[in-house]
């Protein structure tokens, strides 16, 4: 399919140029909004051209860095290329690229970790400064100049509204028949003019299928023909399957006890192997007519849709492996009726997550014995990816699960620790912690009761005696609401930093 088939608005066709030409329109030092959410829908050509441009400028002794705001993570072609070229000044709100991560942790990039539901509004409020350019991947342009969104919506609506200039990457690779799949809500406003968001079911459509843009702002149109990152995951391993089974048993039990409605509630699932295993577990689980209300639609949710176990899924991004993507492409008519892609301020909106009663399932780096959660920092100092939407869902969901294998690095790291080295979700937002060892239901428990159940049910046997010993000794001194030995609370992490092993 040619660019002219995709861009049905003649005015834009006349602004077609190469990525290199378009990159030259982005000056040093500005804020740039880019599309992209979880390795989907990111611009494929511009970032590499910008990286080249940055290298040329640096070679000529001139500074060149830009601040890049996205929906969430992108790919090596974008964050990797820009980071490698030293072209990133500031980066928000999420990153999974290893090159970019290394530069963040080397102190070379100012990374700002934000709740994904906060990003659009903080930009719109003016809290992050003015946006010079938006670079947005789209699938095409309608006759009247509206944009057909790509595999991720993210913050594109907001970037197109607040940027001074817009560069469109028209990607002719994803199926044109995705047109109509998106639901872009234009009812948001800045306080005091906000109104209720009229969404009461996960699969309601409340917006329009296209992104709007002021045609006068579109300074360049660049053609690409390239798939998203191959978001492939390992097959669920034994630990992931144990975690998934615990969660499904728990949900079935809650339903039996009348604490979970018979209709079931919409599912949110974080990204990763464990999350995919839980979704795989639902394939053979007792629940029917499931709904998804999540930020990222992964392989596991596509499987549920295909099998008819899930009737519809709402997300802001489709992030698939190569093989799942081929299924999506081949059966686009089937999936278009069953998948709704929304802006991330809607997919993650506290108002909607609480109203719908979403069941939130997110992975973590570590939990402490009192139920505080570290989702972001390795040994308290190094950024892994970011908080993403986990806080949006954990705080506001009906039930909130945090999951991890009980140990990492071949058993050298316990994922249950005396005190988290960084806290992203506090004891107030954590309900259920699950490892392959078991499930700790923390609802209605005071901190010391939580500690005992977490140690008993979730800790790995190699670390359980050491945790129990810490907890016992902590209770022999000081205040007993949340007993701690402050001089020792972070010693497990310190030991790992010094010796490469948390074990005493």
**Cα–Cα distance for residue pair 68/93, rounded to 1 Å:** 9
Site string for a second copy, 248-287 (x = CB under 8 A): ---------xxx-x-x-xx---------------------
Q: How far is the CB of 436 from a second copy (least distance, A)?
A: 25
Identified binder of a second copy from the candidate list 16, 52, 99, 105, rule CB under 8 A: 105
Identified binder of a second copy from the candidate list 25, 248, 252, 497, rule CB under 8 A: 497
Identified binder of a second copy from the candidate list 61, 107, 410, 461, rule CB under 8 A: 107
Sequence-ordered list of residues with C-beta below 8 angstroms from that of 337, at least 6 positions apart, any chain: none
Q: How far is the CB of 283 from a second copy (least distance, A)?
A: 22
391 annotated ligand binder: no
Q: How far is the CB of 290 from a second copy (least distance, A)?
A: 12
If phi > 0 it is left, if psi is from -120 to 50 it is alpha, else beta; for residue 67 that is beta
Binding to a second copy by residue 197, rule CB under 8 A? yes
The phi and psi torsions of 452 (rounded to 5 degrees) equal -65, -40
**Contact predicate 366/374, CB 8 Å:** yes
Q: How far is the CB of 351 from a second copy (least distance, A)?
A: 4
Identified binder of a second copy from the candidate list 106, 144, 333, 410, rule CB under 8 A: 106
365 annotated ligand binder: yes
Under rule CB under 8 A, which residues in 154-193 are in contact with a second copy?
190-192
Is the Cβ of residue 49 or residue 442 nearer to a second copy in the bound state? 442
273 annotated ligand binder: yes
Q: Measure the CA angle with vertex 15, ends 10 and 19; round to 5°.
A: 135
- The strands making up 432-435's β-sheet, listed across from edge to edge, are 339-341, 310-315, 290-293, 267-269, 359-363, 399-403, 432-435, 438-441
Q: How far is the CB of 398 from a second copy (least distance, A)?
A: 6
Which residues belong to the active site?
Answer: 295
Q: What stretch of H or E contains 488? A: none
DSSP letters spanning 11-44: HHHTTB--HHHHHTTS-TT-EEEE--SSSSS--S
Is the Cβ of residue 99 or residue 491 nearer to a second copy in the bound state? 491
Sequence-ordered list of residues with C-beta below 8 angstroms from that of 449, at least 6 positions apart, any chain: none
Binding to a second copy by residue 383, rule CB under 8 A? yes
**Cα–Cα distance for residue pair 491/486, rounded to 1 Å:** 9
Under rule CB under 8 A, which residues in 341-370 are in contact with a second copy?
350-351, 354-357
Annotated binding residues:
270-274, 365, 385, 389, 409
């Amino acid at each position: 399919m040619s660019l002219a088939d995709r861009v049905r608005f003649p005015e834009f066709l006349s602004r077609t140029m190469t990525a290199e030409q378009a990159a030259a329109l982005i000056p040093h030092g500005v804020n740039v909004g880019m599309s992209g959410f979880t390795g989907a829908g990111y611009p494929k050509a511009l970032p590499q051209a910008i990286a080249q441009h940055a290298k040329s400028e640096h070679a000529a002794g001139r500074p060149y860095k830009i601040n890049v705001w996205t929906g969430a993570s992108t790919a090596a072609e974008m964050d990797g290329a820009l980071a490698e070229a030293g072209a990133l000044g500031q980066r928000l709100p999420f990153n999974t690229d290893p090159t970019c991560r290394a530069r963040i942790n080397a102190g070379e990039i100012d990374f700002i970790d934000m709740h994904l539901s906060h990003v659009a509004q903080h930009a719109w409020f003016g809290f992050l400064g003015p946006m010079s350019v938006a670079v947005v991947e789209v699938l095409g342009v309608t006759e009247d100049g509206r944009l057909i969104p790509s595999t991720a919506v993210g913050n594109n609506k907001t970037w197109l509204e607040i940027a001074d200039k817009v560069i469109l990457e028209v990607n002719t690779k994803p199926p044109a028949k995705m047109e109509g799949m998106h639901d872009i809500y234009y009812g948001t406003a800045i306080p005091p003019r906000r109104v209720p968001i009229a969404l009461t079911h996960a699969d309601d459509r409340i917006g329009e299928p296209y992104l709007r843009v002021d045609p006068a702002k579109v300074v360049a149109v660049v053609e690409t023909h390239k798939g998203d990152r191959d978001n492939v995951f390992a097959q669920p391993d034994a630990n992931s399957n144990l975690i998934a089974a615990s969660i499904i048993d728990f949900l079935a039990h809650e339903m039996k006890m009348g604490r979970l409605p018979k209709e079931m509630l919409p599912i949110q699932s974080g990204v990763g192997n464990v999350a995919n295993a839980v979704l795989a577990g639902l394939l053979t689980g007792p629940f029917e007519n499931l709904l998804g209300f999540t930020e990222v639609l992964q392989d596991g949710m596509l499987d549920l849709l295909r099998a008819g176990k899930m009737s519809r899924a709402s997300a802001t991004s489709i992030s698939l492996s190569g093989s799942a993507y081929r299924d999506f492409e081949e059966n686009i008519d089937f999936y278009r009726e069953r998948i709704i892609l929304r802006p991330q301020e809607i997919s993650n909106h506290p108002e909607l997550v609480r109203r719908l009663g979403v069941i939130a399932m997110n992975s973590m780096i570590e939990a402490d014995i009192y139920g505080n959660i570290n989702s972001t920092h390795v040994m308290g100092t190094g950024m892994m990816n970011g908080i993403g939407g986990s806080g949006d869902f954990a705080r506001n969901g009906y039930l909130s699960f945090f999951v991890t294998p009980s140990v990492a690095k071949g058993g050298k790291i316990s994922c249950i620790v005396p005190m988290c080295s960084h806290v992203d979700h506090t004891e107030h937002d954590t309900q259920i912690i699950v490892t392959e060892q078991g499930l700790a239901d923390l609802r209605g428990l005071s901190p010391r009761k939580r500690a005992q159940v977490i140690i008993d049910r979730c800790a790995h046997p190699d670390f359980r005696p050491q945790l129990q010993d810490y907890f016992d000794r902590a209770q022999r001194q000081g205040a007993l609401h949340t007993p701690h030995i402050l001089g020792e609370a972070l010693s497990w992490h310190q030991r790992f930093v010094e010796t490469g092993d948390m074990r005493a």
